[in-house]
A and B are shown apart, each in its own frame.
Chain A
Amino acid sequence: MDQDSLNTIEDVQRAMFAQNYIADRSLATTVYLALKRRKPLLLEGEPGVGKTEIAKVLAAILNTRLIRLQCYEGIDVSTAVYEWNYTRQMLHIRLMETGGAGRQEELKEIFGPDFLIQRPLLQAIDPANTQAPVLLIDELDRSDEEFEAYLLELLSDFQITIPEIGTISAVQTPIVIITSNRTREIHDALRRRCLYYWIDFPTLEKEYQIVLARMPGVPERLARQVCAFVRELRSADLFKVPGIAETLDWISSLLALNQMELVEEPVRDTLGALLKYQDDVLKVGGSEFTRMLKKATGVS
């Protein structure tokens, strides 16, 4: 499917559904606008609610390349944008020496596109791209302010200047998805350039839909109970609340143990798939646990 066939919000919603991604109307609207207006989309939300997944789904819908840039502290131009292939450059100089070519030509050749290693950002705006790629800038909050400032420039013009070669600008403006877990505040200047969407934890019904869509073989009864139990967990005062990713994880653990519904013993044993802190496990254990389980199994 290409982008022109996504002409309404419903189209987007349907296409995402076809990729097993259940999107609210609000999310579909935002994605639709991001596509139409070619504005970067900034997604925030608790870990495990499907921020990164959106980029993957979009790439699949548009049948285009997904270019992923995982941010980390200290990410810089040579790892995110481009780097020269030094070994090749050195070897080439040796060869030229024996051949005896002119200095000027040498220079031109050595700092030419042949010796350039493209990193994700440069790949995304490569004029050779015949189709606009999806550029996923994952967990931007992990990078430092310097990188964010660089990104600002890139996202407004979609061009990169390499001193030795010149300015490279995108022919096909990439579709940019930025995600953040809010371990650091993203600067206002960057926010201003993006469409913003906060992905919340899904409602009970929506999570159930998601589970069915993502795990076609799951018994409905189990799916209902799991969703109800996870919802109970989310309302408890936990340090790390389980996301959808954990829900799916947990179901596959339960399925691996051949469970058809929630029974106390196996649930306790597999709680590690949902809760990642010892404090949380302790808090949920005991009477609270029995109450939640009763409530969850009582639902179906």
Chain B
Amino acid sequence: MSTQPQDNHHYRALEPLTPIEIERGERLLYRLTEFGRILWEVGIDVGPRKMLDLAETLNYVDVTNKEDFYHTLKCSLLAKHEQEAVFDQMYMYYWYIRDAQNKKKAETPGAAKRDDKHMRLPPSERKRLAEHLNTPQEQRKDLRPEMRESERRRRADEKFNDPDDDDTATPQGLAYSALEALRKKDFESFTWDEVQEAKRLMAEMRWHLGMRPTRRKRPSRRGTYPDMRRIVRRNLKYGAELLELTWRKTKHKPRPLVIICDISGSMSLYSRLLLHFIHTISNGLLNVEAFVFGTRLTRITRQLKKRDVDDAVRDVSKNVQDWSGGTRIGDALHFFNQKWARRVLGRGAVVLVISDGWDRGEASVLEVEMDRLQHSCHRLIWLNPLLGSPEYRPLTIGMKTALPYIDNFLPAHNLDSLIHLGNLLGTIDDSRPSRSTAARRKAVAAWSKGTT
């Protein structure tokens, strides 16, 4: 391999290279590929095509100028602002720190050779990679801590009493009546097996989101806009008379869905199962963005892209730091409104907030942010697991503050409620829900009286 790209008419004519230059070029190319691999491993999308392209681009800059070299690499390999920090870190590490380390090693003979052979990452990254690589066995272990103490005990008992339990328990799913019961049962009182069954059922659910009209048109037999291009073509045979008309009509697309899920301590009984639920939704629909929050907001859309639910959920828990901690809904929504609203709430998005409304932040912050959030989306739906119990009243300060700004306030405590949600999502149309002060007051009054 040489640094010269072969078939390229842009390529500047150069003097034939001396052997030393060729050797240097090859070494540079080798190092570039190695650097590309490091970037790829930390999640920056660098493919061979990009690397080839870069090798060609480097012909136009003076590679001995460190600054230019850096800028060239950056503008060619990086494509997302979010990854800039990682890129810089890796750049520093690879082109400066690692060299220094290697030099030190080289002074102590023997050690250097081994290091050259395999690529090295900083300890934190290495750990992440290692975790990423040895997964399959941990899978089951990982799910266990989510179970409550009582459940774990019950499960142990069951195992003790009936070691062949696994074989007898419904290979094809539960019988109808059992299924019905499961659908109505609160997630909170699920046993281990029921959790598994619920996960399976969730995976089978199909989701539809309300459609929104786009500004694009497509040809159709009947429509509202004349399709001039085809009209002229069709009517050529009649001379200049327009006898056949063809039409175009508005194209419809599903609305984007944004899910913001509470994973703080008070939600811990529900949050893992809800994550599964979010995973099935995001895999079933095209345009879903997902976030989780406790005291801070984390975007988990990328993690949920993994096909396997357990993989995805594990990945999420690794990336989220405030698992089962306190709740600051107002602050989380503030962050969302500032950083993400403009990017994900375009095109008539439907927002799904999942939280029990136990908020330790300030009510005034929450109010402002809820107001803004409602104004920037097409429909704001709040799912509250506590709403499942008939005596529940939205009395916590957080819930009370948020209530006036919610378009649909729904339970999310059992499978039935999720199915109900699915139906609601499918029927969302273009009409805006009433958001006048009077309508808000009425809704709040209805909730505090307890009529649903």
Contact = CB atoms under 8 A, between A and B. Distances in A.
Contacts of A38: 10
Contacts, number: 105
Residue with the greatest number of chain B CB neighbours at <10 A, chosen from A72, A91, A106, A195: A195
Given A97-B240, A182-B343, A33 B216 contact: no
B241 to A, nearest CB: 9
25 contacts: A25-B67, A26-B74, A26-B75, A29-B75, A30-B71, A33-B60, A33-B61, A37-B10, A37-B56, A37-B57, A44-B81, A73-B214, A74-B215, A76-B217, A78-B229, A84-B229, A107-B236, A181-B342, A183-B346, A184-B343, A185-B343, A191-B79, A192-B50, A237-B338, A239-B337
B75 A196 contact: yes
B84 to A, nearest CB: 6
B48 to A, nearest CB: 12
B67 A74 contact: no
**Nearest 9 pairs of A and B residues by beta carbon:** A74-B215, A191-B79, A29-B71, A93-B240, A30-B75, A198-B81, A26-B71, A94-B240, A36-B60
Residue with the greatest number of chain A CB neighbours at <10 A, chosen from B71, B72, B215, B239: B71
Interface string A238-260: 01000000000000000000000
B45 interface: yes
B232 A84 contact: yes
B112 interface: no
A171 to B, nearest CB: 14
Interface of A: 9, 25-26, 29-30, 32-33, 36-38, 42, 44, 72-74, 76, 78, 83-84, 86, 89-91, 93-94, 97, 106-107, 110, 144, 146, 181-185, 188, 191-192, 194-198, 237, 239, 279
Contacts of B347: 73, 184
Given A93-B236, A146-B216, A196 B57 contact: no
Given A30-B71, A89-B232, A198-B84, A184 B79 contact: no
B78 interface: yes
Interface of B: 10, 45, 47, 49-50, 56-57, 60-61, 67-68, 71-72, 74-76, 78-81, 84, 214-217, 228-229, 231-232, 236, 239-240, 337-338, 342-343, 346-347, 368, 372
Given A74-B215, A97-B240, A192-B79, A29 B72 contact: yes
Nearest to B58: A33
Contacts of B74: 26
A287 to B, nearest CB: 18
Given A89-B232, A90-B232, A198-B81, A33 B72 contact: yes
Contacts of A188: 45, 79
A106 B404 CA distance: 66
A144 B214 contact: yes
A86 B233 CA distance: 10
A129 to B, nearest CB: 19
Nearest to B81: A198
A197 B68 CA distance: 14
A146 B343 CA distance: 18
A130 B81 CA distance: 36
A191 B231 CA distance: 38
Given A33-B57, A146-B216, A196-B78, 20 more contacts: A9-B61, A29-B75, A30-B75, A33-B60, A37-B56, A37-B60, A73-B214, A73-B347, A74-B214, A86-B232, A90-B232, A97-B239, A144-B214, A144-B215, A183-B342, A183-B346, A191-B80, A192-B47, A239-B338, A239-B372
Contacts of B343: 182-185
Nearest to A87: B228
A18 to B, nearest CB: 21
Contact of B236 (A110, A144, A181): A110
Residue with the greatest number of chain A CB neighbours at <10 A, chosen from B49, B81, B337, B346: B81
Nearest to A181: B342
A74 B81 contact: no
Contacts of B229: 78, 83-84
Contacts of B72: 29, 33
Contacts of A91: 240
A208 B119 CA distance: 45
A44 B214 CA distance: 25
Nearest to B337: A239
Contact of A182 (B67, B240, B337, B342): B342
A25 B71 contact: yes
Contacts of B45: 188, 192
Nearest to B71: A29
Residue with the greatest number of chain A CB neighbours at <10 A, chosen from B50, B79, B215: B79
Contact of A9 (B49, B68, B236): B68
Contacts of B50: 192
Contacts of B56: 37
Given A37-B56, A86-B232, A239-B338, A184 B71 contact: no
B165 to A, nearest CB: 47
A36 B10 CA distance: 8
Contacts of A194: 79
B28 to A, nearest CB: 17
A90 B214 contact: no
Contacts of B47: 192
Contacts of A182: 81, 342-343
